[in-house]
Amino acid sequence: MKSLLKSGLVAALVACSVLPASVASAQEIKSRTIKLAFVNPAGSAHDLGAKRFSELASQKSGGKLNVKLYPGGVLGGEAAVASSLQGGTIEMSMMGTGLLTGMDKDFGIFDTPFLFDDAREVDVVLDGPVGTKLIEKLPGKGLIGLSYWDHGFRILTNSKRPISKGDDIQGLKIRVQQIPVFIDAFSAFGANPIPMPFPELYTALETGAVDGQENPFISVDTNKFYDVQKYASNTRHAYSPLLVLAGKKFWDQLSNDERAILMDAANEAKPYQRDVSRKMDAEAAETLKTHGMTITDVSPEERSRMRDKLKPVIEKHEKTINTALVEELNAEIQKVRAAK
């Protein structure tokens, strides 16, 4: 009997030691409404990934974490949203890593022209040590990186002429991201690069303030640039990762449980978003033809020549980035290529 009583007492003590922890864990998830702002429109791969993330966050929190989506740049362009994240007025966003170069030049490593050949190389680098080291830099800038999603390989569109080689770019007014390497790269091709926020781009194309722009096929389709652009060239001149971000001021208010839920939801949504983004991008290239756009493929040989033309730009650009990081990234890419 004493043995049974002792066993029962032990069991009760174990139960007591477990139950308060689970209750405490549940209490560490508060009801919150989290604003997630991004520039691409509803129906885009960004939006579909965000919806999956929102669903997962709600499921994992028992409905307490309500991630509300603000697509289409309604809360501002990426630069404005990044500032709002740091200030704490917007909780979350997702944006290309290029914008972060203004905070830390090492993020510019992904903007190196003609760096990646395919998505396999991209994923190995982003999900490996290089991607992790960059995310670890963000808290000091007032941001938290949760996961790398897909924005895609960038192509070039314009309203003037087909582009099959680098020389065809000369003289065009091209909207570029607000980062130096893109300005230098298109200047090297003889274009007139014009940096501007993404939400202003459609009107600029419509009015002729710019002749063209560079973004993945999927962005051309979802933003209906085909209404104001005639020609698309599959230059694949750069790859843009999409980084899911939270503001540090918001993050610091969360419990460990809440942080884990959001981190898990972002990483669980990652393979879905990447797959959707890449499928939609391939489909978009065909869809643009049905809207009257002329699609021009750029040969691997010409892409190599274009990269050679940009060697001075690439060398200048890489000097602004940590040398060890550049070497590590290039080594990872070479390792993937050797295994193909």
94-108, 118-132, 164-178, 270-284: segment of lowest average pLDDT: 94-108
Q: 339 or 14, which is more confident?
A: 339
The reported pLDDT for the residue numbered 307 is 95
CA 32 to chain centroid, in Å, comes to 25
- State what percent of residues in the chain have pLDDT above 70: 92
Q: 180 or 270, which is more confident?
A: 270
The reported pLDDT for the residue numbered 310 is 97
The reported pLDDT for the residue numbered 24 is 37
Backbone angles phi, psi at 52, to 5 degrees: -65, -45
Q: What is the mean pLDDT of residues 186-194?
A: 98
Q: What is the mean pLDDT of residues 227-255?
A: 97
| Nearest to 266, CA basis, from 149, 141, 135 | 149
Q: What is the mean pLDDT of residues 124-142?
A: 97
What digits encode the pLDDT tens for the residues 49-103? Answer: 999 999 999 999 999 999 999 999 999 988 899 999 999 999 999 998 988 988 9
Count the neighbouring beta carbons within 10 Å of the beta carbon of residue 284: 21
The reported pLDDT for the residue numbered 27 is 55
The Cα–Cα gap between 242 and 270 comes to 10
**Domains in the chain: ranges and CATH:** 29-339 (3.40.190.170)
The reported pLDDT for the residue numbered 206 is 97
Q: What is the mean pLDDT of residues 29-51?
A: 95
The reported pLDDT for the residue numbered 77 is 87
Q: What is the mean pLDDT of residues 302-306?
A: 95
Mean pLDDT of the chain: 91
Q: How confident is the model at residue 20 (pLDDT cuts 50, 70, 90)?
A: very low
* Full DSSP string of 271-308: HHHHHHHHHHHHHHHHHHHHTTPEEEE--HHHHHHHHH
Q: 9 or 319, which is more confident?
A: 319
- State what percent of residues in the chain have pLDDT above 90: 83
The reported pLDDT for the residue numbered 72 is 92
The reported pLDDT for the residue numbered 239 is 94
Q: How confident is the model at residue 16 (pLDDT cuts 50, 70, 90)?
A: very low
C-alpha dihedral sign at 60, 62, 65, 70: positive
List all residues 6 or more positions away from 202 whose beta carbon is below 8 Å from its beta carbon: 223, 224, 225, 228
